[in-house]
Structure 1
Amino acid sequence: MNISNILIVSPMYKELSKIIEKEVLHKTFRFIPEEELIQDDLSWADALVSFNLKADYDYSHVKWVHSLGAGVDRFLYKKDWNEDILLTRTICSFGQRIAEYCLSYILKDLQFHDVFQEQQQQKKWVQHTPKLVAGQKVLVYGTGEIGQMIAKLCSGLGIEVYGVSLSGQEKAYFKEVMMVNSHFSRLNEMNYLINTLPLTEQTDMLLDETVFTQLSNAGFINVGRGASVNDGALIQALTDNHVKFAVLDVFSKEPLPENNPLWSHPRVQITPHISAVTTPQEGAACFLDTLKNIDENKPLKNIVDTAKGY
């Protein structure tokens, strides 16, 4: 594949420019923010590098699209994809970052951080014995690279980690991996649920009342995609104490609208999609490695199966 003209569209285009243009001398680049993008830029490009394009531009003629994020749903979900276009995604420290993010909220719950904070405000001295992580049960939706890193970190602390995937294929660090349609009877055993699933037609609204009503006061953490969760069902599960708390880093619409009831729910913790931020250094490194492998006709470890959506 001959790639000469590369268009990089990103909020961090200046930082990427400083890094990439030092490393690549035999390509022509355009680094621009999305608000300055025009169709002529895409018509010029052999390759597009971006998180996503919010407007419906035509980039069907480019040879290669590289996502600066781990997810590619903004390129594929409910869209027709030209199978002649190579699609790759960024692989870097996402798994480690997300695993530590999830573990921090599990530890926060087990150590009664919120309880002690409230007692401090009320000047109450009431002892609660922190719980150990060992023996806790965590169910992870999605057993790919990110799910496996969560399982590795948690299982190393003695947590029993279970997985749910479309295939049900066993993976390292999981005590058991179940298929989507056969895991419901196990939900009431779980202390925490973590969603890492990509957004596809199979995962759209997958986590609904069918899942949440089976829980017994479990914590829920969403670091996958917002559209995988039925927000109404989640709020009802919080009301009915099927879910004890929810930590939400991703939403169907971002930024989360100010009138969304999740903002003010007392048992919902909201973070602004920061559990796995692409730094300019990591984003550039993965892109440069992928470009090098394409130029040298080497196998790509980050190629996307566009039929599956991830």
Structure 2
Amino acid sequence: MASPSPWFPKRILISHNLHEGLGEFLTARRPDLTVRALALADISAADVEWAEVMVGFRPPREGAWRDLRWIHCIGAGVDAFLFRTGLSPNTLLTRTSEDFGPQIGEYCLARALAVTQRLRLHDADQAAREWRPTHSERLAGTRVVVVGTGSVGQGIARAFRAVGCSVHGLSRSGNRHEPFDTVEPLDRFAAVLDGARWLILACPLTEESWHLLDRSKLEAASGAYLINVARGAVIDESVLPLALDQGWLSGAALDVFEREPLSPDSPLWPRRDVTISPHISGLTTIPGAAAGFLTSLAEVEAGCRPELTVEHQRGY
């Protein structure tokens, strides 16, 4: 990790995809900083060599970014910089302080309501100019299982409890967290999934969670509807078509994929039982991205270990 002695970095490289204006936002608050804000694809090896600190959601394609003294990740997960990337153990990696739980909770609730209100069916009927009344399904009273009970999982739990669902968590430790009705360890997966209408993935991508939802767990999903807002590699994506065909899953709303963008050749695109979105369930805001970095910068300048420091071994 970076030295605990006071350090005053000035050269800040920002990857600002979807966050245009972040550079100006930072310099307005810290005019002593020299900020170079570029689209990710435009960052060169020379830009990385120039930088003392990088701020962004994904690493650049070029340059020795793995050896930077400090990287600040502005996304909900840090796996793009840390998971199987060869990041130097001496690199200080910090994360955003923004709470994505409420935003991602709304996304998951919207996906569930789209199913219960049969919105895809009604869209098709409208396009065909057909009048076909159908019964909707009640969301209230259904059982929701959320894998991952951190801030994102908690935000999802609050959203579903607000409409009358029972919400049960699965985590590595099984320690109880509000607002879940219950929390169990992951080895209780099959038992907790019994009777579940919704299975929502909201855990970080680590060595432990890579392909967590493999064929055996998909077989035990009891026909639940899958919503993935974690990372694509938490699922063995190659098994998803089989899981849907066999009824292990009743459908899926997928915001994240093992490779992004999702290939045009993916068998998931044309499926009527799959809803695809382009990794937008929890987008960082400019104030949120800046807040965590500026707080961490003040701590680095004071010679303190930032509170938002990521443990390399844990992966979050």
**Scaled by the length of structure 1, what TM-score is found?**
0.91
Deviates more, 1:107-116 or 1:251-260: 107-116
Q: Which residue of 1 aligns with 2:114?
A: 108
User: CA–CA distance in 2 between the matches of 1:297 and 1:177?
Assistant: 38
Q: Which residue of 1 aligns with 2:195?
A: 189
Q: Which residue of 2 aligns with 1:94?
A: 100
Query: Where in structure 2 are there 5+ consecutive unaligned residues?
Result: 1-5
Equivalences for residues 260-271 of structure 1 within 5 A: 260-271=266-277
Query: Deviation digits for residues 141-181 of structure 1, max 9, x if unmatched?
Result: 11111001111221232211111111111111111112122
User: CA–CA distance in 2 between the matches of 1:32 and 1:125?
Assistant: 50
Residue 268 to residue 43, structure 1, CA distance change in 2 (3 Å): same
Say whether the 8 Å CA contact 1:219–1:244 is kept in structure 2.
yes
* Matching residue's letter, 2:105: A
* Matching residue's letter, 1:216: S
* Matching residue's letter, 1:160: S
Say whether the 8 Å CA contact 1:187–1:211 is kept in structure 2.
no
- The CA deviation at 1:56 is 5.7
Query: Deviation digits for residues 206-233 of structure 1, max 9, x if unmatched?
Result: 1122122123332110111111111232
Secondary structure of the residue that 1:101 maps to in structure 2? helix
Query: Deviation digits for residues 230-279 of structure 1, max 9, x if unmatched?
Result: 12322112111221111011011111111110011111110011111123
User: CA–CA distance in 2 between the matches of 1:14 and 1:272?
Assistant: 18
User: CA–CA distance in 2 between the matches of 1:279 and 1:181?
Assistant: 36
Residue 278 to residue 124, structure 1, CA distance change in 2 (3 Å): same
Q: Which residue of 1 aligns with 2:213?
A: 207
Say whether the 8 Å CA contact 2:222–2:248 is kept in structure 1.
yes
Q: Aligned-residue CA RMSD in angstroms?
A: 2.2
Q: Which residue of 2 aligns with 1:172?
A: 178
Q: Which residue of 1 aligns with 2:161?
A: 155
Say whether the 8 Å CA contact 1:244–1:267 is kept in structure 2.
yes
- The CA deviation at 1:61 is 4.5
Name which of 240, 243, 248 aligns with 1:234.
240
- The CA deviation at 1:72 is 1.0
Name which of 192, 198, 202 aligns with 2:204.
198
Query: Deviation digits for residues 3-58 of structure 1, max 9, x if unmatched?
Result: 23222233357511221111102222222333333333333322111212242632
Name which of 34, 43, 46 aligns with 2:52.
46
Query: Deviation digits for residues 58-116 of structure 1, max 9, x if unmatched?
Result: 23543321012121111111133433322111232421111000001111222232344
Secondary structure of the residue that 2:268 maps to in structure 1? helix
Name which of 75, 92, 115 aligns with 1:69.
75
Deviates more, 1:183-192 or 1:290-299: 290-299
Say whether the 8 Å CA contact 1:12–1:280 is kept in structure 2.
no
* Matching residue's letter, 1:278: T
* Matching residue's letter, 2:36: R
User: CA–CA distance in 2 between the matches of 1:67 and 1:28?
Assistant: 19
Say whether the 8 Å CA contact 1:13–1:31 is kept in structure 2.
no
Residue 130 of structure 2 is aligned to residue 123 of structure 1: yes
* Matching residue's letter, 2:72: H
Seq. identity, %: 33
Say whether the 8 Å CA contact 1:63–1:84 is kept in structure 2.
yes
Name which of 129, 135, 140 aligns with 1:134.
140
Deviates more, 1:296-305 or 1:168-177: 296-305
Secondary structure of the residue that 2:194 maps to in structure 1? helix
Say whether the 8 Å CA contact 1:94–1:276 is kept in structure 2.
yes
Residue 41 of structure 2 is aligned to residue 35 of structure 1: yes
Query: Where in structure 1 are there 5+ consecutive unaligned residues?
Result: none
User: CA–CA distance in 1 between the matches of 2:202 and 2:75?
Assistant: 14
User: CA–CA distance in 1 between the matches of 2:18 and 2:45?
Assistant: 20
User: CA–CA distance in 1 between the matches of 2:25 and 2:251?
Assistant: 41
